[in-house]
Structure 1
């Protein structure tokens, strides 16, 4: 594979081929027969996450239920009865708390690692930031398998999570993939290309959710986690063999350097061009709120569905997760359609509206039909984050993309921590008041980014009109 082939893969249009050829990027050992680059990496990684996440929560539920002597869901005790069951409440509370501890462990380690890997990839190349965390996720899956085989205490899940955090975790893969897309696209096509990556997330999650629910019901937990291990290894292998490098590699680039953290700091403190800093902070804040609500509610869906009055089993939980993941595809289709007649800011506002309505319906769901209706109403909710990622990317220089998406990855890690702390603590605390209260809380939080995005979108439109008049 020569340099012109690499340029053709990296560029979306012929006008970019000359620029790509000047990079002097080293081609990968093999050439991919399809016109894709990092999409299979993000698909395989998300497939592993989507397969293990619901099963992992259910495994915690089953292990903790066994420890406290609760067998309600297995013995038919889970029903629509309003009789208070203290054992069920204890299982829900302890499961939610362990989710919090494990998320906290991964975040604290991953925070420092991702801020090194992202800016480092601006000089050392994007391929390494795809390979290293994929291998870390494979090791985490191996630890989980050992816990299940030996029935070790659930504390060992935290050990596996920390190991994954040391490699950058899934957030590092996201940072690498989105940085790669920013490297290889122009401003006009970036939002849609980012949305394609997020659609890959949804498609992978949907397939994994369907397979996971059926597979767990038929064979238990261990065999699906072997597939998790295999897919993470496959993602690392694909990145090594087929992904062309998108930046010029600097042989003097060092991973362990304070320069990386200084690059992230300068990104959010420099105001050149004028006004960039304010917009960068506001869009990042909006991204933080949107993703926090998404993560926080996602952590609770399985708990909400396992207990009364829904009392879903593994099969329905898998279908529910699949329908929710399908919204990634419907969001992509909706985003592409709305871009024909609406600006990106309006697309984001429509997506937030869909999310708010869906969460309110889910919060009062007491039947299977109503729960699926709530999921369906969220059909546009993932169209907001690609708009925010694209707007952030357009505010910084090409040489700062790695630092930007490293900071965005840190924000995502912080979202995971804050949302787990807030929502997993709020859920058991409000069970006696309103079981779906955390979903209502999330819906009201989304009004804040809606206001910010609307205001900045209006300001950008006025500035554009003023520039056109002048």
Structure 2
């Protein structure tokens, strides 16, 4: 899909199109994540039951005695097929999105944030529509992979986040930018919590169509909001080609070209810090449920739900804590405090053998999510407004790569270390978080760039 070709002469700014209501970008992020979280576990459950029907497997896992796990070979085949097709969807989306999110993010610096928000919203809508067709018509599950790839081609959730964070950076001052970034993170967390509760309790066990229809309705509303209600934050958008290497070059220039207003060392090291933090967060999240289900904790579904709620509440406690601490401390110190409590929480998880200790670990994470908005805000202050889209599309790629690495590392390490220390992956995560803590401290002590308000 290609935008209008650039004219041979100098670009002429075009007026920002009128909208029905000058709305903020946060509702888009909320609706998008709500729809995605609603569909994620639902798709996994659908694949499980679809392969179970194909293989004639009617059993369920008995968690009444968590020390005796089922070793039914048919169940193992179902688990393997479900895991493989989930991996195909994730890989397809990531590999395609790695190219398109960088392309579209830099493109939005010229044409405006609204076109990318509309494209990404429409891509998510098409993915939900294909999922509905697979469920209703019993199409081959490969169409789920196709839907994931189509969504990635149009920007996916990563592209939507890149445009959203860039739009916040466009209109916020250096003083308010960090709290606006944290508010975006809180929208993601609250949407995830509500969607998890609805998905777990609002629908019947094998009711697949209705949740997908709900997600589709939300995504239609989101697409219409992006088209007619979002207030464009690029003041003078100009026509620009979509398929051109100039967009990728603009991202490379952010990190490779020295300039008085930014330091490529700072950009690269802060991006590394974000990568490590996201890897630990998502890696720990991937294995938490299995860790809690198995001995010695042996949590039931109710305790798992309480644990999930405690995890999502950290989005709100981090937002409130950040707002309070900004009255007394600089953002760098707040990030260091957040990392310290995050490390302590991981250490407690590693040695938790009883339920109260596990919830103590969750409690220590109450400031764990102040880190990424602070680092995003710092990154945005190192580049001009005309480079915000390129910057946050690069951060989206870092985010996607971190999630992919987290899934591979932590899910491989957890079974490999069960024999000598079950909680070792959490201990490793605590050690890895020392890296961004040291990097942030060093970069704050040796600033060699001029922040752009």
Q: Is TM > 0.5 for Structure 1 vs Structure 2? A: yes
Tell me the residue number matched to 2:312. 325
**Quick check: 1:144–1:157 contact (8 Å CA) kept in 2?**
yes
Note the aligned Cα RMSD (angstroms): 3.0
Residue 143 to residue 356, structure 1, CA distance change in 2 (3 Å)? farther
Tell me the residue number matched to 1:71. 59
Deviation at 1:180, TM superposition (A): 0.3
- For 1:201 and 1:416, how far apart are their aligned partners in 2? 16
Residue 314 to residue 210, structure 1, CA distance change in 2 (3 Å)? same
Question: Is 2:434 the counterpart of 1:444?
Answer: no
- For 2:147 and 2:302, how far apart are their aligned partners in 1? 27
The TM-score normalised by the length of structure 1 is 0.83
- For 1:147 and 1:100, how far apart are their aligned partners in 2? 18
Structural mapping, 1:74-93, within 5 Å? 76-81=62-67, 85=71
- Secondary structure at the aligned position of 2:446 is classed as helix
Moved more, 120-129 or 155-164: 155-164
Structural mapping, 1:66-465, within 5 Å? 67=55, 69=57, 71-73=59-61, 76-81=62-67, 85=71, 96-151=83-138, 154-217=141-204, 220-273=207-260, 276-305=263-292, 317-365=304-352, 369-460=356-447
Structure 2: 5+ residue stretches without partners: 1-12
Residue 319 to residue 217, structure 1, CA distance change in 2 (3 Å)? farther
Question: Is 2:33 the counterpart of 1:46?
Answer: yes
Structure 1: 5+ residue stretches without partners: 1-22, 465-470
Deviation at 1:363, TM superposition (A): 3.8
- For 1:171 and 1:253, how far apart are their aligned partners in 2? 21
**Quick check: 1:39–1:200 contact (8 Å CA) kept in 2?**
yes
- For 2:72 and 2:207, how far apart are their aligned partners in 1? 27
Question: Which structure carries more helix by proportion?
Answer: 1
**Quick check: 1:28–1:243 contact (8 Å CA) kept in 2?**
no
- For 1:428 and 1:228, how far apart are their aligned partners in 2? 34
Residue 71 to residue 457, structure 1, CA distance change in 2 (3 Å)? farther
Residue 172 to residue 281, structure 1, CA distance change in 2 (3 Å)? same
Residue 440 to residue 38, structure 1, CA distance change in 2 (3 Å)? same
- For 2:138 and 2:273, how far apart are their aligned partners in 1? 42
Residue 56 to residue 322, structure 1, CA distance change in 2 (3 Å)? farther
**Quick check: 2:263–2:382 contact (8 Å CA) kept in 1?**
yes
The superposition leaves residues 46-81 of structure 1 with CA deviations (integer Å, 9 ceiling, x where unpaired) of 1112222333344445556665948342xx355232
- For 2:305 and 2:187, how far apart are their aligned partners in 1? 18
The superposition leaves residues 61-120 of structure 1 with CA deviations (integer Å, 9 ceiling, x where unpaired) of 5556665948342xx355232568475777666655544432211111001111111111
The superposition leaves residues 130-170 of structure 1 with CA deviations (integer Å, 9 ceiling, x where unpaired) of 11111111221222233333555654432222121111110
Residue 293 to residue 56, structure 1, CA distance change in 2 (3 Å)? farther
Tell me the residue number matched to 1:26. 16
**Quick check: 1:352–1:446 contact (8 Å CA) kept in 2?**
yes
The superposition leaves residues 266-319 of structure 1 with CA deviations (integer Å, 9 ceiling, x where unpaired) of 111011128711111100000111112222233333444555665666665444
Deviation at 1:387, TM superposition (A): 0.5
Moved more, 200-209 or 93-102: 93-102
Q: How many correspondences in the alignment? A: 436
The TM-score normalised by the length of structure 2 is 0.86
